[in-house]
Amino acid sequence: MQPIIECVPNFSEGNDLTIIQQITDQIETVEGVRLLNVDPGKATNRTVVTFVGHPEAVIEAAFLAIKKAGELIDMSKHKGEHPRMGATDVCPLIPIANISMEETAKYAQQLAKRVGEELALPVYLYEAAQPNTARNNLSVIRAGEYEGFFKKIKLPEWKPDFGPAAFDAKRGGTVIGARDFLVAYNINLNTTSTRRANAIAFDVREAGRKIKNEQGEDVVQPGTLKSVKAIGWFIEEYGVAQISMNLTNINVTPVHIAFDEVCKKADARGIRVTGSELVGLVPLNSLLEAGRYFLKKQKRSTGVSEKELIKIAVKSMGLDELGPFKPEERIIEYMLYNKADSKLVSMTLTDFADETASESPAPGGGSISAYVGALGVSLATMVANLSSHKKGWDDRWEEFGAWAEVGEKYKNELVKLVDADTKAFNLIITALGLPKSTDEEKAIRKKAIQEATKFAIEIPFKIMQAAYSSMDVIKTMAETGNPNSVSDAGVGALCARSAVMGAFMNVRINAAGYEDKGFVDEIIAKGREIENKTLALEAAILKVVNDKIGV
Q: HSE-up of 36 (CA within 13 Å, CB side)?
A: 26
The pLDDT tens digits of the residues spanning 289-333 come to 999 999 999 999 999 999 999 999 999 999 999 889 999 888 888
pLDDT tier for residue 138 given thresholds of 50, 70 and 90 = confident
CA 267/CA 244 separation, integer angstroms:
17
Q: Annotated active-site positions, please?
A: 82, 421
Between the two ends of the chain, the Cα-to-Cα distance in Å is: 46
Handedness of CA 322, 325, 329, 334 (dihedral sign): positive
pLDDT at residue 283 is higher than 90: no
pLDDT at residue 551 is higher than 80: yes
**61 contacts 68 by C-beta, under 8 angstroms:** no
Mean pLDDT of 484-490: 96
Handedness of CA 396, 397, 400, 405 (dihedral sign): negative
CA 361/CA 357 separation, integer angstroms:
9
Mean pLDDT of 51-61: 95
pLDDT tier for residue 342 given thresholds of 50, 70 and 90 = confident
The pLDDT tens digits of the residues spanning 169-179 come to 999 999 999 99
CA 265/CA 247 separation, integer angstroms:
17
Residue percentage of the chain with pLDDT more than 90: 75
pLDDT at 293: 97
Burial (CB < 10 A; 0-12, 13-18, 19+), residue 271, is buried
pLDDT at 29: 96
Strand bridging mode 123-127 / 174-178: parallel
Mean pLDDT of 514-526: 95
CA 541/CA 545 separation, integer angstroms:
6
CA 219/CA 182 separation, integer angstroms:
28
Residue percentage of the chain with pLDDT more than 70: 100
CA 243/CA 272 separation, integer angstroms:
12
Mean pLDDT of 17-23: 95
* Helix boundaries (H) for 120-213: 138-142, 145-152, 194-204
- Of the candidates 541, 534, 550, the one whose C-alpha atom is nearest the C-alpha of residue 491 is 541
The pLDDT tens digits of the residues spanning 92-134 come to 999 988 999 999 999 999 999 999 999 999 999 999 999 998 8
Bridge partners, residue 35, by sequence: 51
For helices 255-268 and 306-317, the axis angle rounded to 10 degrees is: 20
**46 contacts 12 by C-beta, under 8 angstroms:** yes
Domains of the chain from N-terminus onward = 4-178 (3.30.990.10), 183-335 (3.30.70.670), 339-549 (1.20.120.680)
pLDDT tier for residue 550 given thresholds of 50, 70 and 90 = confident
Can you tell me whether residue 50 is helix, strand or coil?
Answer: strand
**266 contacts 273 by C-beta, under 8 angstroms:** yes
pLDDT at residue 88 is higher than 70: yes
pLDDT at residue 7 is higher than 70: yes
Mean pLDDT of 497-510: 97
The pLDDT tens digits of the residues spanning 524-541 come to 999 999 999 999 999 999
Can you tell me whether residue 176 is helix, strand or coil?
Answer: strand
The pLDDT tens digits of the residues spanning 376-390 come to 999 999 999 999 999
Check residues 83 and 396 and name the one with the higher pLDDT: 396
Window from 255-264, 320-329, 541-550 with minimum mean pLDDT:
320-329
Average pLDDT of every residue of the chain: 92
pLDDT at 265: 96
pLDDT tier for residue 1 given thresholds of 50, 70 and 90 = low
Can you tell me whether residue 96 is helix, strand or coil?
Answer: strand
The pLDDT tens digits of the residues spanning 23-53 come to 999 999 999 899 988 888 777 788 889 899 9
The values of phi and psi at residue 225, to 5°, are -115, 125
pLDDT at 46: 87
pLDDT tier for residue 281 given thresholds of 50, 70 and 90 = confident
The values of phi and psi at residue 93, to 5°, are -110, 140
